[in-house]
Amino acid sequence: MQKIVNVVAIASGAVSIALIGSGLFVYVNRDSIIDSVKQQAIEAVTGSLGGLGGGALPLGTNDIPSTSNPTASTPDFPLPQAPQASL
């Protein structure tokens, strides 16, 4: 019975050391991990993942809608008004 308890204790210690070690690794390398995730997100959006294309925004396009178009911001119908409270 003592051998089983010793094996469980050693396994518990090994798991604890692994958790502390991985947490320390992430803490020490957090800046490079964040930079890597940012770079992957930028590549996914611009579509420059190894020349495969297919991103959300193709490179070299300037087809961003303009907000200076008055018809885009002004509706042709009156907007509903909030009801007035009567006392």
pLDDT tens across 2-61, in order? 999 999 999 999 999 999 999 999 999 999 999 999 999 998 888 754 555 555 555 555
CB 66 within 8 A of CB 55: no
Cβ count near 46 (within 10 Å): 14
pTM over the 0.75 mark: no
Q: What is the 8-class DSSP label of residue 9?
A: H
Secondary structure class of 59 (helix, strand, coil): coil
